[in-house]
Amino acid sequence: MKLEILNEIIQKKSSSQKFALLTNLTNGNSEIFEFGKLLSIDFENYKKQIENYHSLKKNGVIDGTQIFIQNFTKPIEVIIVGAVHIAQYLIDLFKNLDFVITIVDPRKYFITEERFPNVKIINDWPEEIFKKLQTDSNNALITLTHDPKIDDPALKHALKNKFFYIGALGSKKTHTKRCQRLKESGFTEDEIASIHGPIGIKLGGKSGPEIALSIVSQLVLESNKLLLNSKK
């Protein structure tokens, strides 16, 4: 493999980009594939098959060809709104999982590096943050503050951008009021129903660590569904 290709792989992985490495097994030539990128003569004739395998995140020799494809997928990015104590337990559980975590909170006394070491933290209002962040259906949102001024703008953004997972902490009564506000903002019942509220699977626990475990379990379950659907 050429050094320039290896350097490009390292750069793309470090910036969490989605791409594939193609290798022509006949002559050993390799190159990077991304949607919209022109392919060399070694691969151009197999463009449709390559795009199909890349869309399905399938690795291996493409059927009927001598082309090997290795996909590098964008990791799931989880945005946690609310630097509360449950967020700290969530971080501990997320450490060994393949998720990229960002914590958002406009309250300086909550969101500190001391409380959340080695985690990306953003001290600003979600309404402002989501004007700058690039998000898509590969994102997940967890809201924890119970404060409509903080949680609702994040929920609206997640619904509009079709995050694959949206969860909101709070009682059934709190969630009913939340749903009513979102309905008044123009969201449909089907869109609002996509929010997991109250958040987490039912484990029966009420402590911070138990709530965090129920949230992570639900998120992992939904992320596995996303992966399975992408391979169908």
Domain boundary pick from 72, 88, 113: 72
Task: Quick: pLDDT tens for 117-157.
Answer: 999 999 999 999 999 888 888 899 999 999 999 999 999 99
Residue 228's CB is within 10 A of a number of other CB atoms, namely 9
- Give the neighbor-by-neighbor strand order of the sheet with 19-24: 30-33, 19-24, 67-72, 60-61
Do 222 and 116 fall within a single domain?
yes
Place of tokens 């030539």: 29
Class of residue 131 by CB neighbours under 10 A (exposed 0-12, middle 13-18, buried 19+): exposed
Q: What is the pLDDT of residue 83?
A: 96
pLDDT-derived band at 1, boundaries 50, 70, 90: low
Do 35 and 118 fall within a single domain?
no
Do 37 and 95 fall within a single domain?
no
Domain boundary pick from 53, 72, 91: 72
Q: Is-contact 138 77, C-beta < 8 A?
A: yes
Do 125 and 210 fall within a single domain?
yes
Q: Is-contact 116 160, C-beta < 8 A?
A: no
CA 58 from chain centre, in angstroms, equals 19
Q: Is-contact 178 167, C-beta < 8 A?
A: no
pLDDT-derived band at 228, boundaries 50, 70, 90: low
CA 127 from chain centre, in angstroms, equals 19
Do 38 and 80 fall within a single domain?
no
Do 66 and 91 fall within a single domain?
no
Do 21 and 93 fall within a single domain?
no
> Structurally, how many domains does the chain consist of?
2
How far is the C-alpha of 202 from the C-alpha of 216, rounded, in Å?
A: 12
Do 147 and 48 fall within a single domain?
no
Q: What CATH number corresponds to the domain at position 116?
A: 3.40.50.720
This prediction has a pTM of 0.76
Do 7 and 90 fall within a single domain?
no
Q: Is-contact 84 110, C-beta < 8 A?
A: yes
What is the residue range of 47's domain?
Answer: 3-72
- When the pLDDT of each residue in the chain is averaged and rounded to a whole number, the result is 91
Mean pLDDT of 172-183: 96
Do 209 and 112 fall within a single domain?
yes
Element (H, E) at 228: helix 208-230
